[in-house]
Amino acid sequence: MAVGVTFTLKNWNGAYGNVQGGNKSAVFQTGYTETKSLAPVDFEKAATAAVPSVVHIKTIIKANSTAGNDSRQNPFGDEGNDFFKRFFGDNGGQPLQQPDQRASGSGVIVSADGYIVTNNHVVDGASEISVTLNDRKNYSAKVIGTDANTDLALIKIDGHNLPVMPMGNSDDARLGQWVLAIGYPLNLDVTVTEGIVSAKSRNIGINRQGAAPVESFIQTDAAVNPGSSGGALINTNGELIGINAAIASPTGSYAGYAYSIPSNLVKKVIEDILKFGTVQRGYLGISMAPQQMDEEKKKELGINDDVNGVWIADVDPKGAAAEAGLRKSDAIIKINDVPVSTSSQLAEQIARDKPGDKLKITYLRNGNENTVDVVLKNKLGTFSSQKTAAIETLGAEFSTVSEEEAAKMGIEGGVQVTNIQNGIISNQTRMRPGFVITKIGDQNIKSVEDLKEALASQPANFQIQGLYPGSREVYYYGINDFKK
């Protein structure tokens, strides 16, 4: 702790701040500031107000059954099968059930009727989710939507008049500002720790869940441990400025720094999930030059280290940036008049907007400052229509089954799920790639266009019907709270 001392000097005839004496100019200029009596920061009010809005989340991930004679269960490989069976048995060829996985995390209530924001990695793959409030009431929860790229998820409990945490403005967070972290670490009861904001827009390369991850963390030295994930980072007014997501530690437990997703990005993700069922991600269509580059590459791009901005290494010719006239070797210095100097700052600003949104971008070219309006696109370079957005919500890739393949399967036609990514299908079902959709609700599906039309007209809850190639057994997968 720094201690300020005020000195009163009497009868002093020497030269102030001059180590040489006489009237020569001072070598060291010393400033003396009178110590002011400051009241200590009050954490009690903020903690008391915020704690009821932070919940304990417990999940169960069902384990898959594996055959008792499967060599993957054999630590000795194929050659040890007889020995392995003598000691462990082969279970008569019946499936061996691995134990369910249990985990816990935290979440923050963002609406009085039970919407809760947490981390995607807290609920990812969970077959059961339970939520315990600060008043010990327990609820069963369901996933409303997730976004692996930001590591955020929105879940829902059937609650009423729940304590809502007010959303703060993470842009207002300042280095050295006092903050509190609230969560349920290490399966303990609710825990509050204090620290300061030690960095902003930090990218630590920890999110490997999504195809285009966004990392622009608020870094704090408030103690955060396993189980705190999804909990709240608040300011001294009790406002949410971040969702705790990660720690930097060689041991897996708190060792100095924690990282939180900024509340302004959280707000955008929540609003998209509620409105569209999935996050509407706008793309600028550029690749950014890494901050660490060799001198030859810097020279090629014309990078000037004195410029505080983000240099463009390449431009998608069909992207939004190219259409607005941005080029390779331009340096972006502002987004909507907000200065950006790192790729993580730029990525966060872009991630707050969706396809079709217009941004004002300020950039340098050949030392001259320019401003241009850019209309963001989706990843494919075209705006998502309502029907396309509906099919994207499922989080999968589809192809129309050929007449020949349909005849082999004994169906009139269908759409095959060729790849499953993050979305409603992966969150709500156990569907596997290869599944052939033959019906959505009561509508027959014979093409991808049929699929789009059917999804656009479905109610919130419906069934997907179909089969897997090589099997005539019909499968049904239920979809709940579908947002088109």
- Supply the residues annotated as catalytic: 121, 151, 229
Task: State the Cα torsion 201-206-210-211 to the nearest 10°.
Answer: 80
Task: Tell me how far CA of residue 433 lies from CA of 391, 417, 429, 463, 469, in angstroms.
Answer: 16, 5, 12, 17, 11
Dist. CA 85–CA 332, nearest whole Å: 65
Residues 4, 33: Cα–Cα separation, whole Å? 8
Measured over the CA atoms of residue 350, residue 356, residue 361 and residue 363, the dihedral's sign is positive
**Under a CB-based contact definition with an 8 Å cutoff, are residues 181 and 192 in contact?**
yes
Q: Which residues contact 283 (CB under 8 A, 6 or more apart)?
A: 319, 320, 350, 355, 376, 377, 378, 379
Q: DSSP class of residue 109?
A: E
Within 302-414, strands assigned E span 310-315, 331-335, 338-339, 358-365, 368-375, 396-400
3-state secondary structure of 450: helix
Alpha-carbon gap, residue 358 to 353, rounded angstroms: 9
